[in-house]
Amino acid sequence: MRIICCYKLVVDEQDIRVNTDRSLSFDGAQWKIGLYDLNAVEAGKQLAEKTGGTLTALSAGGDILQNSKLKKAILSRGPDALFTVSDGAIEEADTHLTARVLAGAIGKMGPFDLVICGEGSADLYAGQVGPQIGQLLGLPVLNAVCRIEPAAAGLRLERALEDGVEIHEIDLPAVVCVTSDINLPRIPGMKEILAAGRKPTTEWTLADLGLAGGPAATEIVATLAPEQVDRKRIILEGEDAVDEIFQQICN
């Protein structure tokens, strides 16, 4: 089975600073693999191990994708190879542009059986890129997947819903978006980290895919931190505390 896992590099939220005007400062912030994407990588690796298949990592973004440390970070977690689409024109891409670039790269990578994405990115958490990739490639998409097992027809999937669990058997190729409950991502050891430097990597630009960046369809007007509100320091005690809390919230 040939599996492609999409991931995104995001700024470490611990390094984000809030300015006095509530704008966010990313100066000096470190980059990392998105938290939910780690579950997707682990799910792809486990499935590749069960089926004797291969796992290829794929990402699209700005120049940060050329960072050798971050390349080793993803390859040390199990993928056999890495493909990146690095271009300044998509550094601030919205979900549609990101999906269009990833779908173009997948089409150029050759035959595949499965595309795995996380349930959402660690920064925007829109949950739209995976379904849009499926639509662009003309493939069925299942999201909220919490379990993946090989089956005679293709895959047996479980979807976690609010009131229960759905079980599906799907043919391949397909696109699957997994939840953070699907697994516990492995922590690479020294052996995996050293081996990551020897794995093949392929770097493309938008021109290599025959695509143009162009303006994103979504315009970001502003990104501001919530307004800080001083504590009212109201202490409620006694049997009527619940009613008083309710009144405080309503007011």
pLDDT in tens, 121-176: 888 888 899 999 999 999 999 999 999 999 988 999 999 888 888 999 999 999 99
Higher pLDDT pick, 249 / 48: 48
HSE (CB half, 13 Å, CA atoms) of 51? 21
Average pLDDT over residues 171-188: 94
Contact assessment for residue 92 and residue 216, using Cβ atoms and an 8 Å cutoff: yes
The answer to whether residue 248 scores a pLDDT higher than 90 is no
pLDDT at 132: 96
Average pLDDT over residues 3-30: 87
pLDDT at 214: 64
User: Residue 9 to residues 36, 66, 85, 109, 215: CA-CA distances in angstroms?
Assistant: 11, 11, 12, 20, 21
| Global confidence as pTM | 0.86
pLDDT at 216: 64
pLDDT at 213: 64
Higher pLDDT pick, 229 / 9: 9
Average pLDDT over residues 14-30: 83
Average pLDDT over residues 31-44: 95
Interval 53-107: pLDDT, tens: 999 999 999 999 999 999 999 999 999 999 999 998 888 888 999 999 999 999 9
**First-to-last CA distance in the chain?**
58
User: Residue 204 to residues 12, 86, 121, 209, 228: CA-CA distances in angstroms?
Assistant: 25, 6, 22, 7, 43
Residues 6 or more apart whose Cβ sits within 8 Å of residue 227: 22
Residue 33 three-state SS: strand
pLDDT at 230: 79
Name which of 198, 205, 176 is nearest 82 in CA terms: 198
By percentage, how much of the chain surpasses pLDDT 70? 98
Strand stretches in 72-221, DSSP E: 81-86, 114-118, 141-150, 155-161, 164-170, 174-178, 201-204
Whole-angstrom distance, CA of residue 182 vs CA of residue 43: 7
Whole-angstrom distance, CA of residue 185 vs CA of residue 76: 12
Whole-angstrom distance, CA of residue 92 vs CA of residue 67: 18
